[in-house]
């Protein structure tokens, strides 16, 4: 089994900064893509940012220039540094990873429980 645990969420004023972290643990041989999704009330879950095993990144247009994703392959962690936050960024943020659990295993998707980010006006 694989577990993803998020941390770093909270309440921040517009224009402020926040850093989210996610730690993966369990039976992990390797992690392919890992990243962050978010879901606001009444809206669909959307990709915020992801980073590949080789460090290739992808960001949602709505957050480009305001967030930076990074990963530590040795520690199986990923972080999302967020700045210039807007009320529209308010959502539950979920860590997501594509994981190979064994040398001969296929890739599977895993999700964290989520962490709340609230940006006040």
Backbone angles phi, psi at 66, to 5 degrees: -115, -15
* pLDDT tens over the chain, length 121 residues: 899 999 999 999 999 999 999 999 999 999 999 999 999 999 999 999 999 999 999 999 999 999 999 999 999 999 999 999 999 999 999 999 999 999 999 999 999 999 999 999 9
Q: Which of 68, 24, 29, 23 is nearest to 50 (CA)?
A: 68
First CA to last CA distance, the chain: 40
Q: Which of 120, 50, 55 is nearest to 90 (CA)?
A: 120
């Amino acid at each position: 089994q694989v577990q993803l645990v998020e941390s770093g969420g909270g309440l921040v004023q517009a224009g402020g900064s926040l850093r989210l972290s996610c730690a993966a643990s369990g039976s992990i041989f390797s992690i392919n893509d890992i990243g962050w999704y978010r879901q606001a009330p009444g809206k669909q879950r959307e990709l915020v940012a992801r980073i590949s095993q080789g460090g290739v990144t992808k960001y949602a247009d709505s957050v480009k220039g305001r967030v930076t994703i990074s990963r530590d392959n040795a520690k199986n962690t990923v972080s999302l540094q967020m700045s210039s936050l807007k009320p529209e960024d308010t959502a539950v943020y979920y860590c997501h990873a594509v994981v190979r659990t064994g040398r001969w295993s296929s890739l599977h998707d895993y999700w964290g429980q989520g962490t709340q980010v609230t940006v006040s006006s």
